[in-house]
């Protein structure tokens, strides 16, 4: 990530999956055509994302094989996608897995919000946005000062940034910036 000391090439963790999947909430806009022919547009959020697809939550029912359009404005990303799987989560909510088509790949390089992501637990523990560190409750908790994150209250060191990693004061890696 630009602006942090000791830049290093991306050191993405390898897992059993072919590519990394991030369990992060990304605001998205979904457009498509319902089975009755009516067009729809819905603002939603992802349950997870990877370079080749996403899992999103929709109130509009869609079916396997249908094409929809995904736009993630904060990520500067747009792509057609094919519905791969749907499952109901409740009366008016569906979990929808999509795969991007036409060779599109999703990435987070353009995103202003950089998550501190713990790959072993597959969850995010906080994020950086406009020089502020927010905890997992979306509360402002620290301030970025060069390659350090200090407490907003006391000014004490919370984390150190090295390459795309975040370390606690004891040099334990708490996550990777994605």
Residues 34, 96: one domain?
A: yes
Report which of 96, 83, 86 is spatially closest to residue 47, judged by C-alpha positions. Answer: 96
Residues 83, 47 share a domain: yes
Angstrom distance (rounded) from CA 9 to CA 103:
24
Does one domain contain both 38 and 92?
A: yes
**CATH number (domain holding residue 71):** 2.40.10.220
Coil, strand, or helix at residue 164? coil
- Asked if residue 123 and residue 63 are part of one domain, the reply reads no
Residues 112 and 173 grouped into a single domain: yes
Q: How far apart are CA 107 and CA 43, in angstroms?
A: 20
Tell me the residue range of the domain where 95 lies. Answer: 27-100
Same domain, yes or no: 133 and 67: no
Same domain, residue pair 145 and 86: no
Assess contact for 158 and 174: CB atoms under 8 A: no
What is the pLDDT tens value at each position of the chain, 178 positions in all?
A: 434 444 333 434 444 557 888 999 999 999 998 777 889 999 999 999 999 999 999 999 899 999 999 999 999 999 999 999 999 998 889 999 999 998 899 988 889 999 999 988 999 999 999 999 999 999 999 999 999 999 999 999 999 999 999 999 999 999 999 9
pLDDT at 35: 73
If asked whether residues 7 and 65 sit together in one domain, one would say no
94 plus 129 within the same structural domain: no
Query: What is the total count of domains within the chain?
Result: 2
| Same domain flag for 79 and 132 | no
pLDDT digits (tens, 9 = 90+) for 125-144: 999 999 999 999 999 999 99
> Do 72 and 9 lie in a common domain?
no
Per-residue confidence (pLDDT) for residue 17, from 0 to 100 = 55
Rounded Cα distance between 3 and 131, Å, is 11
- Asked if 126 and 164 sit in the same domain, the reply is yes
């Amino acid at each position: 990530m630009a602006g942090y000391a000791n830049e290093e090439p991306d050191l993405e963790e390898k897992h059993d999956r072919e590519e990394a999947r991030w369990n992060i909430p990304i605001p998205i806009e979904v457009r498509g055509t319902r089975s009755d022919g009516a067009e729809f547009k819905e603002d939603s959020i992802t349950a997870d994302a990877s370079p080749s697809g996403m899992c999103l939550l929709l109130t509009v029912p869609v079916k396997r094989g249908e094409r929809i359009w995904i736009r993630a404005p904060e990520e500067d990303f747009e792509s057609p996608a094919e519905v791969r799987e749907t499952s109901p989560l409740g009366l008016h909510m569906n979990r929808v897995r999509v795969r991007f088509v036409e060779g599109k790949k999703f990435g987070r390089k353009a995103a202003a919000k950089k998550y501190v992501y713990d790959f072993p637990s597959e969850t995010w523990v906080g994020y950086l946005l406009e020089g502020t560190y927010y905890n997992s409750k979306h509360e402002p908790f620290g301030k970025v000062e060069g390659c350090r994150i200090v407490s907003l209250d006391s000014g004490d060191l919370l984390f150190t940034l090295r390459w795309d990693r975040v370390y606690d004061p004891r040099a334990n890696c708490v996550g990777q910036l994605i």
